[in-house]
């Protein structure tokens, strides 16, 4: 097992290298830099030039790349002049927004998805099965930001039950935080549960069809026991895979949701940094997201190996 | 696919013992038989049928947009800004006084075109990379790690960064989405190819001296095709949503062109005053994607049951 | 002026459509409202402040916040005349070579220290290094501290417009403690002398200001006036929230989650016109909508072609759509009834003509053969993108092969600095028209005018303008400048755009200004 984890960790290094290289390539292609942001709409060309020199943006790309990788080896992700803090600090400041959002979204999506999936599988070919699958399909087919906007109109504007956007830290006001996070979490969960529901249904159907389940049923075992103890446990392997994939998608989804609900998370930090050309944050932020992604997948792989020992030897 | 592959392999096994010529003839006949069978099963599958009908409707709308649109989609009219839906403007007008219905019709065209291009590019690139990785084993590690790297980028961020680099345009959207969806597609092709590679009929073809190109095209790819087609149907569906997301974030096709996404983006500042701008194209996207998903489900049930409900 | 009359009609229509707005602009200074101290006011704006180091940025998103925190020696009053703020006054020598500033005594920084002449000197020297408009101190040779409350600016040459330029809020030459003088741009301790101090900054989320208990009021005045005056902080806390979605901002205002929306979308303002909870204020002289032409790149290098564009445009449609109905039709380069308003000199035959046949004749004369016209615009400022879309449709109708190149703001700024690769560029000028003729003409002359290539005649007129001794002389020169602008068509004036701000009705005494003043306002109890 340790060997398996170590091997997976090692294989993450080239992945992260590709990510950082890509970032540099994009940065090289992107026109403009932070001088536009600092100067503002009224800046004159002379001002822009002055700001560029001040921040060393006139230095060649290769020089900047060498310096960046050098710093990276020392564990230094760089410093953002626009935000006046280190990249690590800027990203970690935002993680308390994005991680709970993604985690809550994932948990809710998994709960709703597996529940729907189990219901559908147990009542195979009934109206329940069909409506559950239609709900899952609709969840899959609706653009998440659009669904978020509709929720804002409904619950934020028309009914006035929940805030329309913005963020309150949970250390400041726990209930305020819950209220802020409700709509974003719902949006994220609803648009992600479809995949999980469909996967759960099909793997449950596969398992329910197998001999040992039939035997158990024939022996008169209780229905609930069969479903949750035998069938679900075995159906879990493909479900975990899908949940792992969803976790990766959630990072992307969080970017959009954060923009719809004005949440100051990592996604909006990176989007904002691209728009204002805050290169250190873009590079560092993308690397951190990639690391998170790689680790989530690693966790999924480990879980996978634990649920199904054959996988470990396979790789 | 599992069943048919196995059957095919058996036929091939016999034929190889006989001669290369009769192998080819036998396989061609088998393929034709299978195709006919497949078509019958597809038409009989309700979700495929409904999905295909929805898609056909959208394609028809996209092609006929200039004929059925009541107004010029780009015509500004200061006197008719933000008009609610009425007999004159069924879907209302936007902040430029443009007819939303006409823009939705033309937008369907742009959105479908972008998604279709993504499907084509993803299909070609994914097949190339997937085959390369599986067929030329020394390259496998490099290609797959590179693809993993791309997958580790959240797709939306990659697209925004690319759009900043290349300038927002339909081409940028196609490139960004292709880059985002190719890794998974290549994986699907690669695993399909690896399964087939070990099969006896491929070894048989190699034994009778068929060239690499021929083996890849005729025997290997033909068998990795089913999962690829299913995958691409979903890429199509996801592309429509992704185009909308990118336009919403301001990196879609530039104005004045209408795409379903940038109509919603135009409307998001008026979500309370003029809900119709964002709601109609959003609903259209949902229906189109629903159709594609239904179609994909049907296809998978029939031609690739092993992959059921995975994406 | 016929065009202006149409504009007035438009404005009347608008006002009728938003009943309740007018009454509010007549805010009460001497009214019987009872001030209430305490509580928190929340202002929401769309952009994140790129820096809170006031002198290092000319971004409006920063200015909105920092002008509540820092102060300058001189700044503009409500009528855009220089007024002393941290200075007691200035003595200008007869030869115009020394400016002797006397400082107000006992003014405290947020860190408790008293502001002295050495702080001013250090601040000015830092401004030369990191100031976003450092060149405004170019005429100054050296700063001499006379005593704790007196500092002399020694000039290189006589500069009649120096005090105006020095008072500019664009990137304000604020006074900060001497200890911060060596700090790089964006790295100060954020200490100023204003009625509020910065206590928390989370980028993309909020900036929190707290009332500065030891604030030294300027008792020479009765109340706030422009950027100066007697300022009183009633709210204990003022929070500036950043919300990029205009719809979300309005929804938050309606829900009572925020108190002031810095840029209120016009349709939302119309919808809420009769709401008892929300008040809207507007300013019709907020910015100029302009369309800049690249005089260096074909086909716009041909003056006849540029003239064709000028006469083809229907400004009412462009402005109406781009500003969402909040505009004034004005072909002049000063706001109507402002000190430098020279009417429609030069504009009469060219502004808002929507004359397609005349444009087509000019295109023919220019020998135009369907060469692509690249229209540069951005998606960050809604007016820019919308104006570009409408302009493109109108120019297409005249037979010009327009291609819109919509990019993000940093890219747009980058592209327009290229000598070729773009033909037209939509730009709103907010601060220049506010500052007056010198600021406007400065962007059209010098090393890099907006339209790329210099116009020698305009250069000469600019020199005449800045050396004009009196406002009357300068106004006469400005009339010639406006006339000249309608002769070579390097820049097209689209019209004047307005701005709306929304606030909760229980916020009292708020008066719309170039930045949201969070002092001297309070919540009705």
Per-residue pLDDT reduced to its tens digit, A62-88:
787 788 888 888 878 888 877 778 888
Most A CBs within 10 Å, among C132, C239, C422, to test the A interface: C132
Chain C residue at shortest CA distance from A41: C59
Q: Which contiguous run of DSSP H or E holds residue C228?
A: strand C228-229
If one counts every other C-beta atom within 10 angstroms of the C-beta of residue C272, the result is: 22
d(CA C42, CA C295): 45
Q: Which of A37, A260, A268 sits opposite C50 (nearest CB)?
A: A37
Contact A15 B145 (CB under 8 A): yes
Q: Which of C464, C424, C442 is nearest to C333 (CA)?
A: C442
| Segments in chain A forming alpha helices (H) | 2-29, 34-39, 45-54, 61-73, 87-122, 127-141, 144-151, 174-208, 211-218, 223-225, 232-260, 266-276, 279-307, 310-314
Residue C20's pLDDT is what? 37
- At residue A43, the pLDDT reads 63
Would you call A293 and B241 a contact, using CB atoms and an 8 Å cutoff? no
Q: How far is C321 from chain B (nearest CA, A)?
A: 6
Instruction: Indicate if the pLDDT at residue C116 is higher than 80.
Output: yes
Q: Is the pLDDT of residue C68 over 90?
A: yes
Mean pLDDT for chain C overall: 89
Q: Which residues of B touch A243 (CB under 8 A)?
A: none
Of residues A117 and A158, more confidently modeled = A117
With a cut of 60, say whether residue C353 has pLDDT above it: yes
Higher-pLDDT residue of C332 and C447 is C332
* Interchain CB distance below 8 Å, C187 and A84: yes
Asked if A165 and C255 come within 8 Å (Cβ–Cβ), the reply is: no
How close is the nearest chain B Cα to the Cα of C245, in Å? 7
Q: Name subunits touching C (3+ CB pairs < 8 A).
A: A, B
User: Which pLDDT value is given to residue A309?
Assistant: 61
Contact A152 B271 (CB under 8 A): yes
Domain B58-310: CATH superfamily is MetI-like (1.10.3720.10)
Alpha carbons C126 and C179: distance in angstroms, whole number: 11
Lowest mean pLDDT among A169-173, B239-243, C37-41, C451-455: A169-173
CA distance B250 to chain C (A): 7
C→B contacts (Cβ < 8 Å), by residue, are 245-247, 250-251, 265, 267-268, 270-271, 316-317, 320-321, 324-325, 379, 382, 385-386, 388-390, 392-393, 404-408, 411
Which residues on chain B place their C-beta less than 8 Å from a C-beta of chain C? 74-76, 78, 81-82, 95-97, 164, 167-168, 250, 254-256, 268-274
Give the C-alpha separation, C39 to C42, whole Å.
Answer: 10
Q: Please say if the pLDDT value at position A237 is more than 80.
A: no
Tell me the pTM: 0.82
SS3 C398: coil
Give the number of A-B residue pairs with CB atoms closer than 8 Å.
Answer: 143
The answer to whether the CB atoms of C410 and A93 lie below 8 A apart is: no
Nearest chain B residue (CA) to C394: B76
Distance of CA C16 to the CA centre of its chain: 27
Spatial distance between the Cα atoms of C254 and C44, rounded to a whole number of angstroms:
13
What would you report as the CA-atom Rg of chain A, rounded to the nearest whole angstrom? Answer: 24
CB contact under 8 A, B270 and C385: no
- Note whether A13 contacts B: Cβ–Cβ < 8 A: no
The answer to whether the beta carbons of residues C457 and C484 sit under 8 Å apart is yes
CB-based contact A138 B264, cutoff 8 Å: no
Q: Residue A205 pLDDT > 90, yes or no?
A: no
Where do the structural domains in chain A lie, given as residue ranges? Answer: 2-73, 95-314
Say if strands C260-261 and C40-45 run parallel, antiparallel, or are unpaired. parallel
CB nearest to C415's CB, from A31, A34, A51:
A31
CA distance C47 to chain A (A): 10
* Annotated domain spans of chain B: 1-44, 58-310
Interface B-C: count of C-beta contacts within 8 A: 70
Check residue B78 and give its pLDDT: 87
Lookup: tokens for B1: 């696919």
Residue of B149, B161, B268 lying closest to A15 (CB–CB): B149
Whether the per-residue pLDDT at C412 is higher than 70: the answer is: yes
Q: Mutation target for C interface from A30, A38, A46: give the one with most C CBs within 10 A.
A: A38
The residue among C525, C510, C523 whose CA lies nearest residue C234 is C523
Mutate to test the interface with C, among A255, A262, A285 (most CBs of C within 10 A): A262
Q: Where in chain C is the domain with CATH 3.10.105.10?
A: 285-499
Give C284-331 pLDDT, tens digit per residue. Answer: 999 999 999 999 999 999 999 999 999 999 999 999 999 999 999 999
pLDDT at residue C484 in the model: 96
Q: Do C57 and A33 touch (CB under 8 A)?
A: no
The pLDDT value recorded for residue B166 is: 81
Q: How confident is the model at residue B308, as a pLDDT? A: 45
Which stretches in chain B have pLDDT values below 50? 1-12, 14-15, 308-311
Smallest CA–CA separation between A82 and chain C, in Å?
A: 6
> Which class does domain C47-242 fall in?
alpha beta
> Candidates 3.90.470.20, 1.10.20.140, 3.40.190.10, 1.10.3720.10; correct CATH number of A95-314?
1.10.3720.10
| Predicted pLDDT of residue B306 | 54
Mean pLDDT of C494-510: 95
For range C267-275, the mean pLDDT: 89
- Give the whole-angstrom CA distance, residue C332 versus residue C350: 11
A40–C60 CB contact, under 8 Å: yes
> Is B50 within 8 Å of chain A by CB?
no
Please enumerate in sequence order all residues whose Cβ is within 8 A of that of A24, keeping only pairs 6 or more positions apart, or say none: A61, A65, A68, A283
Contact C436, C164 (CB under 8 A): yes
Q: Residue A42 pLDDT more than 70? A: no
DSSP, res C32:
-
**Are B3 and B41 within 8 A, CB to CB?**
no
A60 touches chain B (CB under 8 A): no
Radius of gyration, CA atoms only, chain C: 24
Give the pLDDT of residue A314.
41
Instruction: Tell me how many residue pairs between chain A and chain C have CB atoms under 8 A apart.
Output: 149
CA distance C301 to chain B (A): 25
The answer to whether C247 contacts B76, with C-beta atoms less than 8 Å apart, is no
With contacts defined as CB-CB under 8 Å, which chain B residues touch A19? 149, 152-153
Determine whether the interchain pair A164/C59 forms a contact, defined as Cβ–Cβ distance below 8 Å.
no
* The token pair that represents C86 in the structure block: 């941290």
Residues of B in contact with C245 (CB under 8 A): 268-269
Bridge partners of residue C504, in order along the sequence: C278
Residue partners of A234: CB distance under 8 A and separation at least 6? A207, A210
Q: Which residues of B touch C385 (CB under 8 A)?
A: 255
Contacts of A246 in chain B (CB under 8 A): none
User: What pLDDT, in 10s, does the model give residues C226-249?
Assistant: 999 999 999 999 999 988 878 778
CATH of C285-499, one of 3.40.109.10, 3.30.420.40, 3.30.450.40, 3.10.105.10: 3.10.105.10
């Amino acid at each position: 097992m340790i060997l398996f984890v170590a091997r997976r960790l090692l294989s993450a290094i080239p992945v992260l290298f590709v990510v950082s290289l890509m970032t540099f390539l994009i940065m090289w292609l992107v026109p403009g830099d932070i001088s536009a942001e600092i100067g503002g709409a009224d800046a004159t060309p002379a001002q822009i030039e002055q700001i560029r020199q001040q921040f060393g943006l006139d230095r060649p790309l290769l020089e900047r790349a060498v310096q960046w990788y050098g710093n990276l080896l020392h564990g230094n992700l760089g410093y953002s002049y626009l935000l006046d803090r280190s990249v690590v600090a800027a990203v970690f400041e935002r993680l308390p927004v994005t991680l709970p959002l993604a985690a809550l979204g994932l948990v809710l999506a998994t709960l709703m998805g597996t529940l729907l999936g189990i219901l559908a599988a147990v009542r195979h070919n009934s109206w329940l099965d069909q409506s559950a699958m239609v709900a899952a399909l609709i969840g899959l087919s609706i653009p998440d930001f659009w669904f978020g906007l509709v929720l804002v109109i409904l619950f934020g504007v028309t009914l006035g039950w929940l805030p329309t956007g913005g963020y309150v830290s949970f250390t400041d006001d726990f209930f305020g935080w819950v209220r802020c996070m409700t709509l974003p979490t719902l949006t994220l969960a609803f648009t992600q549960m479809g995949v999980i529901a469909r996967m759960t249904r099909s793997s449950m159907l596969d398992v329910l069809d197998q001999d040992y389940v039939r035997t158990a049923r024939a022996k008169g075992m209780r229905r609930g026991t069969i479903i949750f103890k035998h069938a679900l446990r075995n159906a879990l392997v493909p479900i975990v895979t899908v949940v792992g994939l969803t976790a990766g998608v959630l990072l992307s989804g969080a970017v959009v949701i954060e923009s719809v609900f004005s949440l100051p998370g990592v996604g909006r930090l990176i989007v904002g940094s691209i728009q204002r050309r805050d290169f250190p944050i873009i590079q560092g932020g993308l690397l951190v997201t990639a690391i998170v992604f790689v680790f989530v997948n690693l966790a999924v792989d480990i879980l996978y190996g634990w649920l199904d020992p054959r996988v470990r030897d396979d790789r | 696919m599992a069943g048919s592959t196995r059957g095919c392999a058996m036929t091939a096994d016999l034929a190889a013992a006989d001669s290369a010529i009769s192998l080819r003839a036998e396989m061609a006949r088998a393929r034709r038989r299978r195709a006919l069978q497949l078509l019958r099963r597809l038409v009989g599958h309700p979700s495929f049928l409904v999905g295909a009908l929805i898609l056909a409707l959208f394609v028809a709308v996209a092609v006929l947009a200039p004929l059925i649109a009541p107004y010029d989609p780009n015509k500004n009219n200061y006197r008719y800004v933000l008009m609610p839906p009425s007999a004159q403007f069924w879907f209302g007008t936007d902040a430029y006084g443009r007819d939303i219905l006409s823009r939705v019709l033309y937008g369907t065209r742009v959105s479908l075109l972008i998604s279709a291009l993504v499907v084509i590019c993803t299909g070609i690139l994914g097949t190339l990379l997937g085959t390369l990785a599986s067929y030329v084993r020394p390259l496998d590690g490099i290609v797959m790690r590179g693809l993993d790297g791309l997958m580790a980028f959240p797709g939306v961020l990659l697209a925004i960064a690319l759009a900043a680099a290349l300038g927002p345009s339909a081409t940028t959207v196609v490139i960004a989405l292709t880059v985002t969806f190719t890794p998974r597609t290549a994986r699907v092709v690669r695993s399909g190819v690896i399964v087939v590679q070990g099969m006896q009929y491929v070894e048989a073809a190699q034994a009778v001296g068929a060239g690499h190109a021929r083996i890849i095209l005729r025997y290997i790819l033909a068998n990795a095709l089913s999962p690829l087609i299913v995958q691409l149907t979903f890429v199509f569906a996801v592309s429509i949503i992704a185009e909308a997301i990118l336009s919403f974030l301001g990196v879609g096709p530039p104005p004045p062109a209408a795409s379903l996404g940038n109509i919603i983006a135009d409307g998001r500042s008026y979500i309370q005053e003029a809900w119709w701008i964002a709601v109609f194209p959003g609903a259209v996207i949902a229906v189109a994607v629903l159709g594609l998903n239904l179609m994909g489900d049907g296809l998978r049930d029939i031609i690739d049951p092993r992959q059921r409900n995975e994406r | 002026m016929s065009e202006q009359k149409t504009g007035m009609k438009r404005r009347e229509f608008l006002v009728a459509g938003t009943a309740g707005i007018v009454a509010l602009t007549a805010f009460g200074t001497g009214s019987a409202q009872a001030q209430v101290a305490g509580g928190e006011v929340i202002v929401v704006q769309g952009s994140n402040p790129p820096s809170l180091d006031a002198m290092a940025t000319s971004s409006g998103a920063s200015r909105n916040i920092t002008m509540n925190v820092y102060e300058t020696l001189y700044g503009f009053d409500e009528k855009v005349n220089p007024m002393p703020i941290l200075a007691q006054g200035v003595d200008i020598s007869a030869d115009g070579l020394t400016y002797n500033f006397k400082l107000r005594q006992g003014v405290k920084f947020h860190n408790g220290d008293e502001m002295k002449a050495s702080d001013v000197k250090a601040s000015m020297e830092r401004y030369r290094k990191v100031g976003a408009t450092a060149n405004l101190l170019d005429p100054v040779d050296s700063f001499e501290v006379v005593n704790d409350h007196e500092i002399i600016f020694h000039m290189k040459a006589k500069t009649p417009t120096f005090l105006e330029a020095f008072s500019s809020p664009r990137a304000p030459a604020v006074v900060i403690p001497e200890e911060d003088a060596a700090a790089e741009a964006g790295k100060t301790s954020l200490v100023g002398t204003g009625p509020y101090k910065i206590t928390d900054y989370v980028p993309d989320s909020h900036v929190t200001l707290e009332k500065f208990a030891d604030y030294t009021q300027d008792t020479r005045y009765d109340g706030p006036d422009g950027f100066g005056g007697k300022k009183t902080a009633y709210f204990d806390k003022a929070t500036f929230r950043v919300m990029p979605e205009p719809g979300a901002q309005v929804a938050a205002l309606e829900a009572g989650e925020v108190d002031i929306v810095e840029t209120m979308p016009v349709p939302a303002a119309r919808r809420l016109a009769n709401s008892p909870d929300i008040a809207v204020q507007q300013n019709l002289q907020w910015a100029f909508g302009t369309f800049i032409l690249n005089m260096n790149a074909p086909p716009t290098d041909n003056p006849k072609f540029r003239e064709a564009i000028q006469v083809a445009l229907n400004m009412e449609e462009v402005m109406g759509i781009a500003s969402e109905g909040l505009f004034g039709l004005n072909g002049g380069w000063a706001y109507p009834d402002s000190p430098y308003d020279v009417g429609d000199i030069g504009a009469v035959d060219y502004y808002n003509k929507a004359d397609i046949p005349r444009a087509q004749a000019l295109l023919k004369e220019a020998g135009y053969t369907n060469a692509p016209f690249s229209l540069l615009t951005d998606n960050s400022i809604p007016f820019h993108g919308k104006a570009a879309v409408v302009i493109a449709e109108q120019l297409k109708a005249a037979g010009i092969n327009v291609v819109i190149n919509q990019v993000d703001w940093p890219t747009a700024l980058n592209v327009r600095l290229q000598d070729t690769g773009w033909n037209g560029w939509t730009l709103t000028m907010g601060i220049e028209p506010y500052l007056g003729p010198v600021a406007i003409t400065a962007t059209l002359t010098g090393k890099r005018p907006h339209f790329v290539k210099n116009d020698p005649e305009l250069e000469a007129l600019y020199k005449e303008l800045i050396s004009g001794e009196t406002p009357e002389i300068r106004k006469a020169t400005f009339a010639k400048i406006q006339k000249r602008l309608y002769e070579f068509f390097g820049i097209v004036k689209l019209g004047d755009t307005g701005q709306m701000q929304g606030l909760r009705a229980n916020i009292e005494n708020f008066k719309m200004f170039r930045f949201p003043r969070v002092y001297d306002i309070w919540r009705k109890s």
